[in-house]
């Protein structure tokens, strides 16, 4: 990424140690990353290499042990805590897409997407308007009033992407978002993530093992034994 752009995400020497003493595990051993607004990058690595730990640190779900993390140039983890309100940080600045869509079964599709903007203080009307706009963009508005259980796997995943985008977060963390999908639907989800990144300048990290989508990333980070390496992709 260009040096003069403020990165959406920047990690400097991020470390995470679980436990202490003889049983301590150093899951992250000094991770450096810079991701610009609008970039979609892949993160690949073998089992136990630290992918989940890195996503949990990025999502402010767990604290790193050392190092620095910045979102949009603002220190999130530093020598001291700079951001106290992690709930607000997770709600407004980071969108999550998981392997399973985890839609709420007793809310219809629209309310699943509208819930986060409502929690962030938008009126019901405004939150639903935003939800419908996203459902349309993701080509799933025809299921707006359905119970999520009645949707196909690909439709449910598109709804979960709409939910991740609902508060217009500058960062989206996607953990194996295409794992349950066939090749065509997996590539369609990647295209949606790329389109959304371009339109909203969202930075997106996609953790994946999915050989079908790995060649689509313009930048790819490998993680091995708690350290990341960037692969130059032509």
How many residues touch ligand ATP under the rule CB under 6 A: the total is 12
Tokens of 234: 């032509």
**Secondary structure of the chain in HEC code, one letter for each residue:** CCCCCCCCEEEEEEEEEECCHHHCEEEEEEEEEEECCCCEEEEECCCCCCHHHHHHHHCCCCCCCEEEEEECCEEEECCCECCCCHHHHHHHHEEEECCCCCCCCCCCHHHHHHHHHHHCCCCHHHHHHHHHHHHHHCCCHHHCCCCHHHCCHHHHHHHHHHHHHCCCCCEEEEECCCCCCCHHHHHHHHHHHHHHHHHHCCEEEEECCCCCCHHHCCEEEEEECCEEEEEECC
**Of positions 7, 38, 42, 50, contacts ligand ATP by CB under 6 A:** 50
Q: How far is the CB of 171 from ligand ATP (least distance, A)?
A: 19
Is there binding between residue 81 and ligand ATP (CB under 6 A)?
no
How far is residue 174's CA from residue 42's CA, in Å, rounded to a whole number? 10
Q: How far is the CB of 13 from ligand ATP (least distance, A)?
A: 17
Is there binding between residue 51 and ligand ATP (CB under 6 A)?
yes
**Binding flags for ligand ATP, 30-49, as an x/- string (CB under 6 A):** ---------------x-xxx
- Quick one: 138 or 174, whose CB is closer to ligand ATP? 174
**Of positions 6, 18, 104, 182, contacts ligand ATP by CB under 6 A:** 18
- Interacting stretch for ligand ATP, rule CB under 6 A, among 51-59, 85-93, 101-109, 142-150? 51-59
How far is residue 5's CA from residue 126's CA, in Å, rounded to a whole number? 32
Is there binding between residue 19 and ligand ATP (CB under 6 A)?
yes
- Quick one: 129 or 222, whose CB is closer to ligand ATP? 222
Q: How far is the CB of 64 from ligand ATP (least distance, A)?
A: 12
Is there binding between residue 21 and ligand ATP (CB under 6 A)?
no
- Quick one: 25 or 150, whose CB is closer to ligand ATP? 25
How far is residue 75's CA from residue 90's CA, in Å, rounded to a whole number? 15
Is there binding between residue 25 and ligand ATP (CB under 6 A)?
yes
- Quick one: 25 or 104, whose CB is closer to ligand ATP? 25
Binding site for ligand ATP (CB under 6 A): 18-19, 25, 27, 45, 47-53
């Amino acid at each position: 990424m260009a040096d003069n752009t403020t990165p959406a995400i920047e990690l400097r020497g991020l470390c995470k140690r679980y436990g202490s003493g003889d049983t301590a595990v150093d899951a992250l051993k000094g991770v450096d990353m810079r991701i610009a607004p609008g970039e979609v990058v892949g993160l690949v690595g073998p089992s136990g290499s630290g992918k989940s730990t890195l996503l949990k640190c990025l999502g402010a779900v767990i604290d790193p042990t050392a190092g620095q993390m910045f979102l949009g140039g603002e220190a999130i983890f530093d020598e001291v805590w700079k951001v106290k309100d992690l709930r607000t940080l997770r709600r407004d600045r980071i969108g999550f897409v998981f392997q399973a869509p985890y839609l709420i079964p007793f809310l219809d599709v629209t309310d699943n997407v509208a819930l986060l903007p409502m929690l962030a203080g938008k009126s019901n009307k405004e939150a639903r308007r935003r939800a419908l706009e996203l459902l349309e963009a993701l080509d799933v508005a025809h299921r707006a009033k359905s119970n999520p259980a009645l949707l196909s796997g690909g439709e449910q995943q598109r709804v979960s992407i709409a939910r991740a985008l609902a508060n217009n977060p500058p960062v989206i963390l996607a953990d194996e978002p295409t794992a349950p999908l066939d090749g065509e639907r997996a590539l369609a989800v990647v295209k949606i993530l790329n389109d959304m990144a371009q339109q909203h300048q969202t930075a997106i990290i996609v953790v994946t093992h999915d050989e079908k989508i790995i060649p689509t990333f313009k930048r790819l980070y490998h993680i091995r034994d708690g350290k990341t390496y960037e692969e130059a992709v032509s």
